Each structure stands twice: as structure tokens, then as C-alpha cells.
Structure 1
Amino acid sequence: MKYLLNFLFFFGFSILATAQNQVLKLWPATPPLQKEMDLKEEVVQEGILRISNVQEPLIEVFLPTPQVATGEAVVIFPGGGYGILAYDWEGTDFAKWLNSQGIAGIVVKYRLPNSKSLIDPKEVPLMDAQRAMRLVRHHASDWNINPSKVGVMGFSAGGHLASTLSTQYAHELDRDKDAIDQLSARPDFSILVYPVITFNERFTHGGSRKNLLGDTPSKELIERFSNELQVDENTPRAFLVHAQDDQAVPLENSTLYYQALHSKGVESSLHIYPKGGHGFAFGRSRGAVENWTEVLLDWIKNLN
């Protein structure tokens, strides 16, 4: 059964600014590369809260209680093939879980490239991701966050965005900038969960590539957004997890990225489970993959 939640969703956002979490716009006015159009976001609850046609990009900030805060923060990019955002399944559920571990969780409602209001769609998700990172560092002291311990977490196409930010954090377009734009957008670490990494025809997720780059992208664009080709010595450390039986995003996406990191001397961690499929999130009731979050916590604790 399908329920349209537009009113409730936005009303809920308006009252979420509590001691535990708050909502902030990414941009003070009309976001860059966006035309003013009378378009509505779509919010549908079908077991998973799905958001599409994002017009007002936001971050929703979940903070742990000060007594248990580690100073670490994770900026979360939900997946959805660059067509929708699986906002709770791969977003707010993980932010709340991170809070239970003393880690701040910041969920990004980023713009999707299939919106008709966008001027240069392929550039917009990265631009929103950069702004989210900078906004977290801007508020670091207010939120009890160490600005040198801010990582990213991305699922599926959100993993593509997280790895794009990790390799193209310094990419800039000619636009008006404010003081927040002067802060670093480089993540200190990345957590990539069944991520789309490559746009190489053999291993890519076709829907994500088509939604971001269109039907017939140039070779230059395919290479630019094949993030295993963009890794260098300054790319942040990564934790990657994938299932061998993933029929949507081949596990080679994770192995290609790990190999690129290894070749540049970037210490990282790759975990492949035999079963789990795609979109397993916490992996509940899917066998051994259910343990991946515990492995992740150990990795985070040993980052320093």
C-alpha cells in the first residue's frame, strides 16, 4: 500500500530541531545550478521512505549525548540509483545507530540529477556533498565534533557519491561562494556499502550511470566518474563491504576501488560476504553479512 507523505514529511522536518537532531538547509537561497520552478518533491512510504525530485537539499543532524560522544561524525548519503533516496533504510536508521556508538550521524537529502530544475545535473550531487561536508565542519564546535574526524558513508549510488567526494573533493565550478565554501570538503575516511564505483560498461550499475550522465555519456565523463581511476595518495582511507551474490552492483566495484587505494599506499579494509544480495543495509536475517557493522566499528576505533 502506497502513502504520499508530502505534508507530513515536511511538517515533520519543521519540528525536528530538537536537542537530539536538527535540520539545516545546505544553501541559504536557491541552490547553485538550479532554476526556480514550481516543482514538488515526492515522498512515498512503501516499507522504505523514498524521496525523489529533491528541490531543497538538507542535512538532518543526529547527535549523541555529550557524555558518550567520541568527536567523530559520519555524513551519510542514502542510495537509490540517483533516482530516489532510500532515506530511512540507508540514512536515518544508520544515523541513529551511529549515535548509540557515540558518533554523530548527518543524513544528506541531496539533489538528484533527474530533476527538470537542474542546469547541469551531473555536477549537482557532488556539489551538495561538498557543501554538506563543509557545513558539518562549520558547525563542528557547536555539535561537539572534531573537524579532523569527519567521514562519509554511502550506499549503492550513495556510495558512488561518497567515493566521488573522496576523490574529487577539490573539484570546483565557477560560482559565487561564501565563507563556508572556503572550508575543506575532503572526508577523513569513507565507508562504502555495496557501492557503485565504476562507470565502466562491464561492471557498472546501468541505472546509476544513466541517471547521472544520460544515455550516451562521453568517454571523458565515464572516466571522470569511474572513481577507481581518480584515486591518488590523498584519497581518504576506506572501509568497503559487498556481497558476492549482488546482482545489481557487481562486487568488482568494491575490489577495483580497493585495488586502486592499495596501489597508492592508502590503508583500507575490504570485506566480501558470500551472500547478502544488494541493498542489505544492516544485513538483518541475511547470514554472516549481519555482522558487518560490528567489523566497521572495530575499524573506526582503530583509525587513529
Structure 2
Amino acid sequence: MIRAVAASLALVLACPAFAQALPEFRFSDAAPADYPGVIRLGTGPGQPSEEWFRQDGALQVRNVAEATLTPFLPRPQSATGAAVIVAPGGGFLGLAIEDEGFRVARWLADHGIAAFVLKYRVLPTPADPLTFRRELVAVRTGKGPASFRPPADTPAEALADGQAALRHVLTHAADYGIDPARTGMMGFSAGAFLALSVTAADAPDARPAFVAPIYGRQAPSPVPAKAPPMFALIAADDPLFGREGFALVEGWRKAGAPVEFHLLQNGGHGFGLGRAGTSSADWIYSFHRWLDVNGMLHRKP
């Protein structure tokens, strides 16, 4: 089922209706993000063709071949002990690492939650920037040939990176001042695929305490035996997943696992922390309240 849903993502990306909802594709070159304390997870060989760029002003990165974590830690006096690994989206062709990574992590850290932005491996795209940008527009509009397409499932490399990130944070919980039992994973779009895949894999040393798929697939997803609490959110007018139904949420409910679901009236897809003038604005406060209700923000000795 995951394969079928991801395949539908590739098809929807090429449809005219989705093309009309896309930005104007204004590209520009950009320097790599420079945040202190970046952690190399040791997955992938790394390669010099990694490219950082801006699309419509927002920083993105592609051709990631070595996974890293960028920590955003709260001030000690406001730290709650909770932690979230944040996985940006991008169709596994790149990462919207600013809007769906760094900005989200800063908000969480400002509210007492340790956050770690995961730069996970994605599928290779043409090394030449002009070729990549032309073909990316072709993929998203369905106009013109392209040498790449979104994958039909969470790539094995991305899944391995998600698990490696969780293992690292859990292993070094004392160093970060966090509670392993209150460490979860949040993902946006393709990052939501990844977060659910990590949860479904149910590795003994890489189990998130909670999972938050944000505007990800709504089709059925495997539910682990001891499913963690889930916070799911999507806009009704999301052109990718807004009309898939609610099987994801129903699966968690049938398993008896805690779940909170927000169907926003509007906001489209890819709104990050929220799109002004839509009901997606300030949704992150609902997530914060949900964490609190589930005991994730309660300080412990």
C-alpha cells in the first residue's frame, strides 16, 4: 500500500491541477547552512556534488549522500526534556530544509523542546544546476522530459538515516539533557513518509516515543505492535493527499493507539509552520498542546 501511495505522489506531481498550486520556481544559488554542532551520522560515503540552493527564497539542499543532524537545544531554564527529530520533505529528491526543518526546530527549541533537523539521503539528481532546475519544473508540471521522479517508496537509505538519527539521539540523551521516553519524530510530506516508515520498522533501538506526520500520506500504514501516540495533520485542499481518506488515522484507532488528527480547512501542501490567511497558520501550537496532554512536556527529576 505504501508503494501504491508513493506512486500516486509521482503521478499527482505531474498533473496540471497540482502545477497551478505551485510557486513560481524562482531559483538562486546559496551557500550551505552554517549551524554549530552538526553531527555526521556515518551513513553514506558523502560526495562533492551536494548542492544548496534557494527556491522562491527558501533554502533547500539536494544530492545529499551523507546524513547529518543539526541540533537546536532549548535554554536550560526552559528545557522540558522532550525531543523531536525533524525530517523535512522534498519528494526524496531534495530537502526543504529551511521551511520544514530549521524554522520548525527553532520554534520547538524556543518552547523548551530539543529539536534535531535530519538531513537524510535523497535520490541523485543531475549535477548541473541548470539541468536539475529545468527537469524539476518538468517533474512538477508534467511538461517536458526529466531523468528523475519521486520514488515509489521510502528509499532504504533514507530509512536507515532516520533510524540512525533516532539511535544517536537516544544513545546521547544524557548529553542533550533529554528523556529517551519523550523523544519522537516529526516529518513533513516525504519526511512524514520517513517518520512513519521508521515507526513501522519498529527496530528495538530506534522506536520513537511519538510520531507526527504533517501533510503526509493518509492511506493505510503498518501499525507496530506497540504503536506510539500519533499527531497527524493535513489540509483538506492538499493537492497530494487531501482526498485519500483517513485510513492512516483509522489504523491507529483500531490498534487502540492514541491519535489526534487535524483536518484543516485550507492551507494546501508544503506550508511548513503555516500559511498566512489559511487555517494552517499556527498549527504548531496544537502540536505543543498535544505533547503536553500526553505528558511529553512534564519535567522529570
The answer, yes or no, to whether TM exceeds 0.5 is yes
The correspondence of residues 150-229 of structure 1 with structure 2, limited to 5 A, is: 150-170=183-203, 184-196=205-217, 198=219, 228-229=220-221
Q: Which whole-Å CA distance do the structure 2 matches of 1:184 and 1:70 have between them?
A: 23
Q: Which runs of 5+ in 2 are unaligned?
A: 1-25, 127-153, 296-301
Matched, 1:242 2:234: yes
Partner of 1:43: 52
**What amino acid does structure 2 have at the position aligned with 1:105?**
A
Matched, 1:99 2:132: no
Partner of 2:287: 296
**CA drift at 1:256:** 1.5
Q: Which whole-Å CA distance do the structure 2 matches of 1:184 and 1:138 have between them?
A: 9
Structure 2 SS opposite 1:105: strand
Higher RCO structure (Cα 8 Å, ≥6 apart): 2
**CA drift at 1:56:** 2.0
Closer/same/farther in 2, CA of residues 114 and 196 from structure 1, 3 Å limit = farther
Give deviations 1:227-275, integer Å, cap 9, x for gaps. Answer: x34113312111011111111223536x221100001000100010111
Structure 2 SS opposite 1:61: strand
**CA drift at 1:280:** 1.3
TM-score normalised by L of structure 2: 0.76
Structure 2 SS opposite 1:191: strand
The correspondence of residues 78-97 of structure 1 with structure 2, limited to 5 A, is: 78-97=88-107
Give deviations 1:161-186, integer Å, cap 9, x for gaps. Answer: 0011111132xxxxxxxxxxxx7110
Q: Which runs of 5+ in 1 are unaligned?
A: 171-182, 199-227
Matched, 1:131 2:164: yes
Structure 1 SS opposite 2:121: coil
Q: Which whole-Å CA distance do the structure 2 matches of 1:161 and 1:115 have between them?
A: 20
**CA drift at 1:99:** 0.8
* Among candidates 62, 65, 79, match of residue 52 of structure 1: 62
Structure 1 SS opposite 2:61: strand
Structure 2 SS opposite 1:285: coil
Q: CA RMSD in A?
A: 2.1
Partner of 2:40: 25
**What amino acid does structure 1 have at the position aligned with 2:250?**
Q
Structure 2 SS opposite 1:286: coil
Closer/same/farther in 2, CA of residues 275 and 139 from structure 1, 3 Å limit = same
**CA drift at 1:39:** 4.6
What is the count of residue pairs matched by the alignment?
A: 243
Partner of 1:282: 273
